[in-house]
Amino acid sequence: MRFRTAFRAAVAPLVGAVLLSGCSFHGLYSTPLPGGADLGSHPITIDVNFLDVLDLVPQSSVKVNDVAVGKVDSISLDGWTAKVKLSINGDVDLPKNARAELLQTSLLGEKYVALEAPPTDPAPERLTSGDEIPLANTGRNPEVEEILGSISLVLSGGGLSQVQTIIHELNNVFGGRTSQIRDLLTQLNTFVGALDAQKDAITKSIDSVDSLVTHLNAQKQILTNTLDTLPAALKVLSSQRTQFVTLLDSLSNFGTVATGVINSSNANLTTDLKNLQPILTQLNKAGSNLPNSLALLATAPFPRNVTNDIKGDYLNVGFTFKDLCVSDVTQSKYGTCKPRTATSSLDASQIPDVPGAEG
């Protein structure tokens, strides 16, 4: 009997150790706390990266709008980043770019993780199991110790002396200069108002500069090639410096000679221009007659459209005869033309016969 009791006492701890190892027991943190958040039947697991988790521990609450929706499963270190694994209720509706904050229930209360949607531009996709919230979307509130330490730094002389110096210097600046300060503020207000009135123009200028920079950036290779070839071009110009100087001297001499010629012939040139005035006036009166006449002159003695009547080796010509009388022939704008009187008679026998008129 004593042997059985001793055997049971020896085996019981061993069996308990085996059972605990089979259940993956990790201490009290692996034991669910009573009254915790309801994870539902389909909880999801996400990872959250923090720079500092302070004294956050596993089994801490995860809240959305101050309502517990999950818990902290584990906390691990990934380089200089704390990786916190959360289990939350699968019915919680959060965007994929949700934010995570490390907050405190009260001044001396416990830490918890607060999840919330971003204030602007929430992602259309929903937060699902396996997602990870990056460092850019996480943060924490300042600790009470940090606030008290900052206050202590100021109150212990670390900052009050500097504040006193600043106030003293401000008093020296404003003392006796009230009108100047008021005028400065008035001018500053006018300046800011003018800037605000020109806001659209300033914006357009900035957009134009941006467009110019974009265009220059697109032409970067061309500009680079230009800058690369510019030294060679300058070298060529430098080698031809003597020719350029000679050219400029020649232009200077030409200008001197031309000025002398114009000055000496000023009177004659003025007279010629005055004499040309009547001719130009008459040409202007001629209007379109002169260019039309020049166009006909080039086709004389035939009109311009004569080629339209030539068909091969013959020419189509049409004549229109009007009723004529003696007065139409003898009268003209130069007077009456008298018909000539016959000086001799003509014998009918002297008139030749018309061919084909016989019989």
pLDDT beyond 50 at 3: no
pLDDT beyond 60 at 16: no
Kindly list the distances between the CA atom of residue 237 and the CA atoms of 76, 248, 300, in Å, as whole numbers in the listed order. Answer: 71, 14, 58
43 and 136 within one domain: yes
Q: Can you give the pLDDT at residue 335?
A: 55
114 and 43 within one domain: yes
Which DSSP symbol is given to 321?
A: P
> What is the phi/psi pair of residue 4, to 5°?
-65, -40
Q: How many domains does the chain have?
A: 2
User: Has this prediction a pTM greater than 0.75?
Assistant: no
Specify if 59 maps to a domain. yes
Cβ–Cβ under 8 Å, residues 44 and 96: no
* Rounded-to-integer distance, Cα 138 and Cα 98, Å: 9
- Domain span holding position 157: 151-175
Specify if 181 maps to a domain. no
Q: Is 329 exposed, middle or buried (0-12, 13-18, 19+ CB in 10 A)?
A: exposed
Give residue 170's pLDDT band: very low, low, confident or very high (50, 70, 90).
confident
Cβ–Cβ under 8 Å, residues 87 and 73: yes
Specify if 43 maps to a domain. yes
Specify if 41 maps to a domain. yes
Contacts of 60 (CB under 8 A, 6+ apart): 71, 72, 110, 111, 112, 113
Cβ–Cβ under 8 Å, residues 45 and 73: yes
Q: How far is CA 99 from the centre of its chain?
A: 33
107 and 49 within one domain: yes
Q: List helix spans (H) across 91-159.
A: 144-153
pLDDT above 90 as % of the chain: 35
Cβ–Cβ under 8 Å, residues 126 and 95: yes
Specify if 192 maps to a domain. no
